[in-house]
Structure 1
Amino acid sequence: GLDAGTWAAWMEAVHYGDEDIHVRMPKFELAYGEDLSDALKAMGMEVAFDRSRQNFPRMTPMPRSWIDRVKQK
């Protein structure tokens, strides 16, 4: 696969001074997802993830609401 190290090696190998180099790549899709729950807990939001201690009365009328996980996609 193409990672940062491979890309850097390619760029080092084709360094021709100030000349322009045109590179064509096939169309591709890139997807990324990350679970942010641990990061948010580490930043002080651990109570929001604790079902026995948290609720969100200003956001929902449902009692005992909590955050199970946060996923960025």
Structure 2
Amino acid sequence: MSEFVQWSDTKARIREIDPEWDSPERAAARETSREQLQAELRGAAFSVAAPASADESSGRVTGVVCGR
């Protein structure tokens, strides 16, 4: 069975391995990556929603149902 590890211990170990982990550039890159992943997940959830029909005269999409 695995042991619980304190987050502070984990972060200290990460800094030992890669001192640049907390650099502003790396933090910004992780945030951008996180935002992209969340957008992809929202898009995937949207794509499995009920089929939509396009109103060609207005360019609007109708009949989209989101949620579970």
Q: Same fold (TM over 0.5)?
A: no
More helix by share: 2
Q: Which has the higher contact order (CA 8 A, sep 6+)?
A: 1
- Kindly name which structure, 1 or 2, has the bigger radius of gyration based on alpha carbons: 1
TM-score by length of 1: 0.28
TM-score by length of 2: 0.30
